[in-house]
Amino acid sequence: MSGKKKRDIGGMITVDEVPLRWSVKSEPMRGTTDGDIGLRVSVVRHDETKTRHGDLKAWRELILQYPFEKRQHHASRFPDKPRIDPADLARAVRLAMDAGWEPASRGRPFELMLEEGDLPR
């Protein structure tokens, strides 16, 4: 069985005393039918509470989509490995909370498309 191995990039952050688990949902993609898509990060409340069926309790997922970067930092045929700064991620999560995402809620994923003005430089 051959195929591209997905890079497992993720971690834990705490925003406003809420433990959150994050992972890279998809890396930047060029030339899709929806145009260029930037890095997408999934954020979910970290909770070890189990349901009566023994599964981990499901919380509402936050999907942060960063703007597509046209230039890579290193000239190579392989894309750069995404680097996630926990402080920048915490700022983006606070933006999502201000926009209406509640970590303790349930339901469909909450998607937030970040713009260049939302990101520190």
Q: What is the pLDDT of residues 41-59, one digit of tens each?
A: 999 998 877 777 777 777 8
Residue with tokens 């997922």: 61
The number of distinct structural domains making up the chain is: 1
- Write out pLDDT tens, residues 66-102: 887 766 555 555 556 677 888 999 999 999 999 999 9
Residue 4 falls within a domain, yes or no? no
- In which domain, by residue range, is 89 found? 10-69+79-118
The token pair that represents 57 in the structure block: 């309790």
Residue 74 falls within a domain, yes or no? no
- Write out pLDDT tens, residues 94-108: 999 999 999 989 899
- CB hemisphere CA count around 78 (13 angstroms): 4
Residue 5 falls within a domain, yes or no? no
Residue 100 falls within a domain, yes or no? yes
Residue 50 falls within a domain, yes or no? yes
Residue 37 falls within a domain, yes or no? yes
The whole-model pTM stands at 0.77
| Short-list 34, 119, 53, CA closest to 85 | 119
Residue 49 falls within a domain, yes or no? yes
